[in-house]
Amino acid sequence: MTLTLLAPLSGILVPLESVPDPAFAQRLVGDGVSIDPLSDRVLAPCDARVLQVHRAHHAVTLLAQGLEIIIHVGLDTVMLGGDGFTALVRADDVVRAGDPLLSFDADLVARRARSLLTQVVISNVDRIASIALSTGRVTAGQDAVMRIELAELRATGAAVPQGEAVRSEPITVTAY
């Protein structure tokens, strides 16, 4: 199965290894791409459920087809404590590709944070069989930033992706 992520922002795609932050550049957070933004409204890259909106409103985590997608606006933006950011969704909201997630004051954030580079990463890389990253300029909600081929889960003993429900027959526990 393949999942295509659309650009959450308009801008220029930048390889993660070029991001001046070791957590992203060394792919410690996950694999993906960065965007040097030319817009100030973060859109949902696909149909998903919102897992978390960071308390400083600079990042959002989505769940789509078992993949955890983190969109992190800027570098060191957590230090702003939410100044310049507005969350447009909450945890457990269901969003469609192109729905607005966050907005930010690009001028304020650019002046007070280290960078506006915005990372789009898949944190649970064990669920990825392959990833094809786009390059160049992208338009929010229109152009693909990556195409992800999902890894097959083993039929027996397969781990259930975090955030997904598992249903079974009722279990009876007998007290001794």
Using one digit for the tens of pLDDT, what is the confidence trace for 79-120? 999 999 999 999 999 999 999 999 999 999 999 999 999 999
- Condensed to tens digits (0 to 9), the pLDDT of residues 54-75 reads 999 999 999 999 999 999 999 9
C-alpha to C-alpha distances, 9 to 38, 39, 104, 171, 173, nearest whole angstrom? 7, 6, 11, 47, 51
Q: Is the pLDDT of residue 176 over 80?
A: no
Instruction: Please tell me the predicted confidence (pLDDT) of residue 27.
Output: 95
Q: Provide the residue ranges of all domains of the chain, joining segments of one domain with +.
A: 2-150
Residue 10 Cα to chain centre, angstroms: 15
Q: What pLDDT, on the 0 to 100 scale, is given for residue 126?
A: 94
pTM: 0.86
DSSP β-bridge partners for residue 87: 102
> HSE-up of 42 (CA within 13 Å, CB side)?
30
- By percentage, how much of the chain surpasses pLDDT 90? 86
Residues with Cβ < 8 Å from 111, sequence gap 6 or more?
none
Q: Does the structure show a pLDDT above 60 at 155?
A: no
Instruction: Indicate the pLDDT class of residue 152, thresholds 50, 70 and 90.
Output: confident
pLDDT given for residue 170 in this prediction:
60
Class of the CATH domain delimited by 2-150 = mainly beta
Active site residue 57: no
Of 54, 57, 58, 72, which is the active-site residue?
Answer: 72
Q: What is the pLDDT of residues 22-61, one digit of tens each?
A: 999 999 999 999 999 999 999 999 999 999 999 999 999 9
Residue 142 near residue 7, CB atoms below 8 Å: yes
Q: What is the pLDDT of residues 117-137, one digit of tens each?
A: 999 999 999 999 999 999 999
Burial class (CB in 10 A: 0-12, 13-18, 19+), 27: middle
The stretch 172-176 carries a mean pLDDT of 55
Instruction: Tell me: pLDDT of 156 over 50.
Output: no
